[in-house]
Amino acid sequence: MRSESASHRYGEHRIYLSLAPGIGCTRRLMADAQLLAAQGYDVGIAFNASSDYLCDFARGLRPLPLIYERQNNQRIEALDLETILRDPPQIIVLGNLAHQHGLPDQPIEPLKLVEQLRMAGVAVWSTIYAYNLTTIAPIFTRLTDITPTPIIPETALEQASELVLIDPEPIDIIRQLDEGLLLAPPEAEQARSTSLRLDVLNQLRAATHALLEIRRPLSDSAERPRWLVGIGFNPSAMYLLQRAADLAYGMGALLIGVHIRPPGGGSSGYRLAAREHLDYADELCHEVVIIEEKDVAAAMLQVAHEQHATGIFIGRPVRSRWDELRGGSLLTKLINSDRDLDIFVLADAPR
């Protein structure tokens, strides 16, 4: 689906920035990449994604050739850049920028590697942990006695075409860590005493926000259109979420997921399905809002006004025509209640 020769354009660099490993930065990057691969884009993945929590996200992405060496009983991998540039993909999911330093006999600076790929017309998507940045690394070392390597110069943020900030509240990170949602037990135990300690997260977050204000303000988030999508618990909800994310991305819009929980919390079956769909929404949406309300239409409109939303994605009505005549459908209520909102009805999942 390439419309122009790669050699005639300069590739973009999208950076996903988060405080530390384990809080969803790589999963978000790969979920976004999967959406483009599903549209027919040639998306290559430049690292081994065989771990249980990443292998599903790698489906549909083209594995790129890697070179492996062993040094001090450690396996080192690097891009086979020469082979890749003979048949480059449109987008390369590079992964953690700090890991891109080549092999011992062929070292390369991470930003030099990105520059070579961009010069070849390839769009590069990478992740950066805040503690690898020049001014934040000393703060992390002071708090944990760990010196992160390598150090990524902050000019990377300024030179990037797009910056995506993965920025959950530190207290929410700790809660998910305690619930076993972020890391396997051995890794979680180590992270609790280092990068995912609450005081460390709070100080890293404050330093990251201050840095972004100075180096690259994220003002575009306030200016981008905001679309809502309902997060249901029926089987088609996952498909609708992916379609909404696909369309929002194409429009350059932020996607806000809205889950309207029934009063009382609902049945155990409902809670299990809702949890799975909410986890998926966390990967695809800029933000997820949960509200407890019996009137779904009223709750959706309330969130739309609070978020200054442009429009709402909803699925086709599933109620019978008779039920709609008696109680009205969600679609009808939304259309009749607010003339300033665009309503986009998504098609059903393919059978």
Summarised one tens digit per residue, pLDDT across range 80-92 is 888 999 999 999 9
CA neighbor of 242 nearest in space, from 24, 62, 32: 32
Number of CB atoms found within 10 A of residue 318's CB: 12
With tokens 């575009």, the residue in question is 220
What's the pLDDT at 265? 63
Task: Look at residue 114 in the predicted model and tell me its pLDDT.
Answer: 92
Count of CB atoms situated within 10 Å of the CB of 206: 12
Give the pLDDT confidence score for residue 218 in this predicted structure: 46
In this structure, how many other beta carbons lie within 10 angstroms of the beta carbon of residue 122?
Answer: 25
Task: Give pLDDT tens digits along the chain (351 positions).
Answer: 333 333 346 788 999 999 988 888 888 888 888 888 888 899 999 887 766 566 777 778 898 988 888 777 777 888 888 899 999 999 999 989 988 888 877 888 899 999 999 999 899 999 999 999 998 999 999 999 999 988 899 888 888 888 888 888 899 889 888 888 888 788 888 888 888 999 999 999 999 988 887 655 444 555 678 899 988 777 778 888 888 888 887 777 888 999 888 777 666 666 777 788 888 888 778 888 888 888 888 888 888 888 888 899 988 765 544 444 444 577 778 877 766 788 888 877 665
Q: What is the largest CA-CA distance in the chain?
A: 74
Distance of alpha carbon 59 from alpha carbon 39, whole angstroms = 13
pLDDT reported for residue 4: 37
Nearest to 65 by CA among 86, 41, 35: 86
Preceding peptide of 170 cis, ω within 30°: no
At 140 the pLDDT is 93
Residues 242 and 35: beta-carbon distance below 8 Å: yes
Amino acid 348: pLDDT:
72
Contact 298, 330 (CB under 8 A): no
Taking CA atoms, 99 is separated from 78, 90, 318, in Å, by 9, 21, 48
Q: Which tokens is 130 given?
A: 């805040």
